[in-house]
Structure formats: C-alpha cells, structure tokens
C-alpha cells in the first residue's frame, strides 16, 4: 500500500499540469508610429514590401507560424513576422495548445509597409484540478487513517486508501463471538488486536459550487483478534469470525470546497457488515 501511495503522490503534479490550453486574442491593431516595415523592408515573392506583424505571447518560448514570408526577430514571448499584403489569416501553432487561427478583420487589412501588433494570451480550458486529502475513519471500536487523491474538474475520478498500520494480522486460529474454537471454549486474556485496510476508486461530481457528491467501490478487510492462552507461558491470537470481514468495499460521501481548501464527510462499509464514518480535510489545486 505504501508503494501505491508514493506512486500516486508522484503522479499528482504531472496530472495537475495536464490541462487543455489555447491562445486567445487580447488585441490587434495598427501601429502607425512604428516605421520598421518602411525603413528596413522585407520583400515577398512578388518583390513587394511586406507588412510586419509583431506577435506577443507571454510565457511562450517557441512556436510555428504559418502563412508568412519569414521571421526577422525573436525573443522569449515576442516574434516579428513578415506577411504579404492582403494576407487573409495567420496560423500560430504551439506544442500542447490548440492551433490559433486569426482572420484579419476587413477594417484592418494588412497593407504593405505597415506594422501591426498581435497580442495573445494563454487561456486554460477546463483546468484539471488535483485533490490531495488526508482522511480519518472512525468506528465505535476502531479507527484508521488514509489519503484520497482525485483528478478532474466538475467530474472527478478519485482513489482512496486507508489503513490502521497493523499489517499481517491474520491468525490461523478462529473463534465465534462466544470464544468457542471448534466447539471448545477458549481461554482468553482480554487483549485484542485489530487490523483495517481498504482501497477504493470512484467518481465525484460537482452538484453546485462548492458541493460535490462522490461514490466509490473497491476491496478491503477488517480483522479482529482476541489473545488466548494456548500452552504454558505461550499465547496466541484467534480471529473472531463474526467481527472479521474481507471483501468488497463501498463508500458514499459529500465534499465541500472553499477556495483551495476542501472538506469531506461520508460513510464506508465492507460488505454492508462493517460500517465506519469518513472525514477529511485537504486541498483542491
């Protein structure tokens, strides 16, 4: 289980950045003061001076521009390209983005010798959020700790793992609720040991901001053992069958988001025989 949690935590920042992005227009205008296209002209295939388009995109280092004569200047976030007069559009491609196609408006056509400014911005489309939430589970006789990780926006996929950190508790001897072992009454000391483990995965849906509802299923176990006297100065543990369960898990709950902070409350069961309450507090980034 520890390996699973480590892998999920390592993946969370990767998934958080796996977002759909696009370029959007901030401004397009003619700069009548800038004389670069006239004082240092670049000619197209028809030997006619081109129009100069000064492209600005903050936080972008590389791109591909189509339908141009050439690029004369380049610095981080800024490109100076030359286009033939009356070009109808410009196509800008950036890795990881949707292609940006800008059709020049009829009232601002490209004219030979003029300088134009094309200011673009990066827009995140439906950002994928990451939920990282430590959880606490409580039953009248036992409690455990866990972590929930979720990835999505309005629709979220999540995984939830929990344990009480008592691993390997699964004795060969078993007894009933009265302490009988194969029909013979055992001699018990009163000491108990318990083990709880569960891992579930499921779906979370935003109903209204800031409320989400979620449901999940998976596999888990809850083991209860009683210490018994076996032979002289030797003790062993017997698994109490009526209160020990191993099989499918189901959980239901609600999550409330307040800015980056989120709170959850729900219920979880193993085979509808063992129930416990879940609460959590974490972040949604």
pLDDT in tens, 32-43: 999 999 999 999
Which of the four pLDDT bands, split at 50, 70 and 90, describes residue 183? Answer: confident
CA-based nearest residue to 188, from 243, 238, 241, 245: 238
Q: Which pLDDT tens digit goes with each residue over 91-131? A: 999 988 889 999 999 999 999 999 999 999 998 776 788 99
Owner of token pair 């995140």? 124
What confidence tier does 9 reach under pLDDT thresholds 50, 70, 90?
A: very low
Question: Which pair of structure tokens corresponds to residue 21?
Answer: 């992005």
Is pTM beyond 0.85 here? no
Burial class (CB in 10 A: 0-12, 13-18, 19+), 105: exposed
Q: Which CATH architecture has domain 21-125?
A: Sandwich (2.60)
Q: For 65-99, what is each residue's pLDDT tens digit?
A: 998 999 988 888 999 999 999 999 999 999 888 89
Task: Give me the residue spans of the domains in the chain.
Answer: 2-15+128-284, 21-125
Asked if the peptide bond before residue 197 counts as cis, ω within 30 degrees of 0, the response is no
pLDDT, tens only, 14-36: 343 445 788 999 999 999 999 99
Class of domain 2-15+128-284: mainly beta
Question: In 14-42, which positions are buried (b, 16+ CB within 10 angstroms) versus exposed (e)?
Answer: ebeeeeeebbeeeebeeeeeeebbeeeeb
More confident residue, 285 or 88: 88
What's residue 19's pLDDT? Answer: 52
């Amino acid at each position: 289980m520890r390996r699973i949690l480590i892998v999920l935590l390592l993946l969370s920042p990767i998934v958080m950045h796996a977002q759909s992005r696009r370029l959007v227009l901030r401004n397009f205008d003619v700069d009548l003061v800038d004389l670069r296209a006239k004082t240092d002209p670049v000619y197209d295939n028809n030997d006619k001076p081109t129009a100069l388009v000064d492209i600005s995109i903050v936080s972008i280092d590389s791109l591909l521009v189509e339908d141009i004569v050439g690029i004369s200047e380049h610095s981080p976030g800024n490109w100076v390209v030359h286009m033939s007069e009356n070009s109808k559009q410009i196509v800008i491609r950036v890795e990881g983005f949707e292609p940006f196609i800008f059709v020049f408006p009829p009232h601002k056509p490209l004219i030979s010798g003029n300088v134009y400014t094309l200011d673009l911005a990066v827009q995140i489309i439906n950002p994928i959020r990451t939920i990282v939430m430590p959880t606490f589970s409580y039953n009248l006789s036992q409690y455990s700790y866990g972590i929930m990780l979720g990835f999505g926006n309005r629709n979220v996929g999540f995984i939830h793992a929990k344990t009480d950190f008592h691993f390997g508790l699964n004795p060969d001897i078993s007894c009933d609720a009265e302490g009988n072992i194969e029909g013979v009454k055992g001699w018990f000391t009163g000491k108990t040991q318990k083990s709880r483990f569960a891992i579930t995965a499921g779906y979370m849906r935003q109903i209204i901001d800031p409320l989400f509802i979620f449901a999940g299923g998976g596999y888990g176990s809850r083991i209860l053992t009683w210490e018994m006297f076996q032979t002289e100065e030797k003790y062993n543990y017997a698994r109490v069958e009526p209160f020990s369960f191993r099989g499918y898990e189901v959980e239901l709950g609600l999550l409330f988001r307040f800015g980056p902070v989120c709170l959850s409350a729900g219920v979880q069961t193993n085979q509808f025989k063992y129930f416990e309450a879940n609460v959590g507090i974490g972040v949604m980034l």
